[in-house]
Structure 1
Amino acid sequence: MFQHRLDAAERLAPKLGHLHGHHPLVLAIPRGGVPMGRVMADALQGELDVVLVRKIGAPGNPEYAIGAVSEDGSVHLEEEARHCREEWLADAIARQRELIAERRRRYTPVHQAIDPTGRTLVVVDDGCATGATMAAALATLRQRRPARLIAVLGVAPPHTAARLEGLADEVVCGAVPRHFAAVGQYFTEFDQVSDDEVVALLAGNDGPPASS
C-alpha cells in the first residue's frame, strides 16, 4: 500500500486540506508516527509535538496491544487484559510508565511540550491493530478540551477504524483492509524509528531518511 511512512503521510496530508489556515497541532505517537507527523505538520503549516502513550503488549505476543498507558498516568485496558494475572499486569504498567518518563526526559532538552488546550489536534500514527494506543491518546487529549480532535492512521482494520470514530471528531485512515494481519505488511519499507531520529524531527532537523 505504501512505500514507507513518509509516502503514507504525503498521501494522507491532502485529506486534511481543510485545516489549512487553522494552525493545527500535530501530535505524533512515538516512535513510528513521528516521521509521518513531521511531514503532516509541514504540509498543514502546523506545529509538531508528541503524545506519549505506550501500549501494553499481550503475554507472549508483545506486538498485540491489550491496553495502553498515557503520560498522565491513566491506564486504558482492553477486554483481553482481564485474562492476565494481576501481578503481571501491574509490572507491565509500571514498565511502560518508566519508559514514558524516560522518553520525556530525552525529548525535553530539544523540545518543550505544547499546550493542546483549545487547539485543532491531529493525532498521527503509522497504524494500529486493536487501536488501544490511539484510543488512549485520544481519551487523554479529549480531557484537554481541544477545539477539534482528529485521528490519522496509515492503516487499521475496519473494526478498529470504526471504534476510533467514536473517540475522535474525524478519522482519516489510508487503508482499512478486511484481512488485516500487521501494520508492517502494508509498507514496503518499515524500519524501526530510533529515539535519535525522533529527537532530530522534534528539533526541526531533517530527521530520518525516507525509509525510516
Structure 2
Amino acid sequence: MFTDRLQAAERLADALAHYRGSHPLVLAIPRGAVPIGAVLAQRLEGDLDLVLVRKLHAPHSPEFAVGAIDEAGWTYVAPHAAAAGATASWIEEQKESQLQELARRRQLYTPGRGPADVAGRVVIVVDDGLATGATMVAALHAVRERRPARLVCAVPVASPDAVQLVGQHCDEVVCLAAPAGFAAVGQFYASFPQLEDEEVIALLAGEKRD
C-alpha cells in the first residue's frame, strides 16, 4: 500500500492540508513515526517534536501491546490484557522497565528540556500505523492533559478497532486506510526498516537522512 514511510507521509500531508496556516505542532511517536512527522511539519508549515510513550507488551509477544505508558507514568491497560496473559505483576514490571526507557529517550532526544508546550495549539500526534491503538491512546492522553486547542490523531494505516478506540481520545482521526484484514503495520509498507536513535536525533535537528 505504501512504498515507505516517506511516501506515506506525503499522502498523509495531503489529507491534513486543511491545517496548513494554523502553525500546527506535529508530535511524532519515536522511533518509526519521526520521519513521517518531519514531512508533515514541513508540508504543513508547523513545528516537529516528540511525544514519548511506550507499549506494554504481552508475555512472550514483544510486538503485541496489552497497554501503554507515558513518561509521567499514566498507564492505559487494554481490555484484552488478561486474556493475553498479562497479570498485574507483569504489568507492573513492564511499567517500571518502560519508564526507564522513556527517561533514557528523553535525555537522549531532547536533552535539557521536557515535553513541548502544547497549550492553545493545534496538535497532530502521528504514528506510522496502529495495531491495537494502545500506544496512541497513551500519547493522546499525555497531550490532552496539557490543553491543546485541537488534538488530531494522524496515521497512514490502522486496524478498524484501533481507529474506533483512538477516536474517543481526540478531536479528529485522520487515517488513510483501515483495512478489515489488518494483521500488522509492517504488512502495508514495501520498505519498513527499524530506525535508530541517531536518525531520530538528526531529524529533530532538521537534518536529512541519506
Give the structure-2-normalised TM-score.
Answer: 0.95
Q: Which amino acid aligns with 2:122?
A: T
Structure-2 change in CA distance of 1:94 and 1:112 (3 Å): closer
- CA distance in 2 between partners of 1:170 and 1:116 (Å): 16
Q: Which amino acid aligns with 2:145?
A: Q
Q: Return 5+ residue gaps in structure 2 as ranges.
A: none
- CA distance in 2 between partners of 1:79 and 1:4 (Å): 32
2:53, 2:71 within 8 Å by CA — same for their partners in 1?
A: yes
Q: Which amino acid aligns with 2:165?
A: R
Secondary structure of residue in 1 paired with 2:127: strand
Deviation at 1:194, TM superposition (A): 0.7
Aligned to 1:174: 176
- CA distance in 1 between partners of 2:15 and 2:35 (Å): 18
Aligned to 2:36: 36
- CA distance in 2 between partners of 1:112 and 1:84 (Å): 31
> What does 1:192-211 align with in structure 2 at a 5 Å threshold?
192-206=194-208, 208-209=209-210
Aligned to 1:57: 57
Secondary structure of residue in 2 paired with 1:145: coil
- CA distance in 2 between partners of 1:158 and 1:119 (Å): 28
Secondary structure of residue in 2 paired with 1:80: coil
Aligned to 1:80: 80
Identity %: 50
Aligned to 2:143: 141
> What does 1:63-142 align with in structure 2 at a 5 Å threshold?
63-82=63-82, 83-109=85-111, 113-142=115-144
- CA distance in 1 between partners of 2:18 and 2:112 (Å): 30
Aligned to 2:4: 4
1:26, 1:37 within 8 Å by CA — same for their partners in 2?
A: yes
Correspondence for 1:153 among 146, 152, 155: 155
Alpha-carbon RMSD: 1.4
Secondary structure of residue in 2 paired with 1:66: strand
- CA distance in 2 between partners of 1:173 and 1:205 (Å): 27
Aligned to 2:27: 27
1:30-53 residue CA offsets vs partner (Å, 9 max, x unmatched): 000000000000000000000000
1:76-130 residue CA offsets vs partner (Å, 9 max, x unmatched): 1101223423222211110000000000010124976421111100000000111
Secondary structure of residue in 1 paired with 2:90: helix
- CA distance in 1 between partners of 2:111 and 2:72 (Å): 20
1:111, 1:202 within 8 Å by CA — same for their partners in 2?
A: no
Aligned to 1:13: 13
Structure-2 change in CA distance of 1:41 and 1:15 (3 Å): same
The farther-off stretch of 93-102 and 165-174 is: 165-174
Give the structure-1-normalised TM-score.
Answer: 0.94
